[in-house]
Amino acid sequence: MELHEILSRCDHTLLRQDCTAAEIRRACDEGLRFGCASVCIPPAHVAGAKRYVGDRLPICTVIGFPNGYATGAVKAYEAADAIAHGADEVDMVVNLGMVKDAAWGDVLADIQAVRRASEGKILKVIIETCLLTEEEKLLLCGIVSASGADFIKTSTGFSTGGATFEDVELLRAHCDAKVKVKASGGIATLEDAERFIALGADRLGTSRIVKLALAAEAQAQD
């Protein structure tokens, strides 16, 4: 797979707690330069990023991030506020306490509250696979499929692990065909990125692929 094809599936990500407006603009520049699917940034930076890029690059942000334990009403407000300030896509974290309580109706309601608030925009649901049992992953495939969300996403990148090949394969096999898969967290090489795509990931959440592209450009200029 060509590098530009991989980059076109990347949500170029900058979610570090202390990232500055200048760093966000640089991430936007990189996302534009390499034709990324979006730039994924903290909610507080959405308005500034939207002013900076306009409609040239989709703006993605995170909701209930990274822990997921805000109420559904709060997450819905976060999503609506982000969209009002220019977000084109929102990546929400499920309530993992509800998952561990097997309160599946509440998990669905939590996602649907954000779905209603984000209608017309892309919604990705982060299930934090590293904290789940196999049974919980399978049940969440069904719940996300029923919720109306557009994507199921492996990880925040802020917990004990990121995307694995096994998890991406499982999510693709057990979600409805209309639900796409986003692999996120720890994607460090082009080989890994290509394998995630081959296993069924439509999107990759990563900053490293752009860094590899920049390094390749620098090497070519030497």
Pick the catalytic residue: 75, 124, 180, 182?
182
- Cα–Cα–Cα angle for 194, 169, 138, nearest 5°? 150
**Contact predicate 15/157, CB 8 Å:** yes
Q: Closest by alpha carbon to 154, among 133, 178, 185, 180?
A: 185
Alpha helix (H) ranges present in 148-207? 165-174, 190-198
Pick the catalytic residue: 75, 137, 153, 180?
153
**Contact predicate 124/150, CB 8 Å:** yes
Question: Cα(118)–Cα(77) distance, rounded to whole angstroms?
Answer: 10
Q: Is 124 a catalytic residue?
A: no
Q: Is 182 a catalytic residue?
A: yes
CA 56 to chain centre: 19
Pick the catalytic residue: 88, 91, 167, 192?
91
Q: Is 75 a catalytic residue?
A: no
Q: Which sequence positions are flagged as catalytic?
A: 91, 153, 182
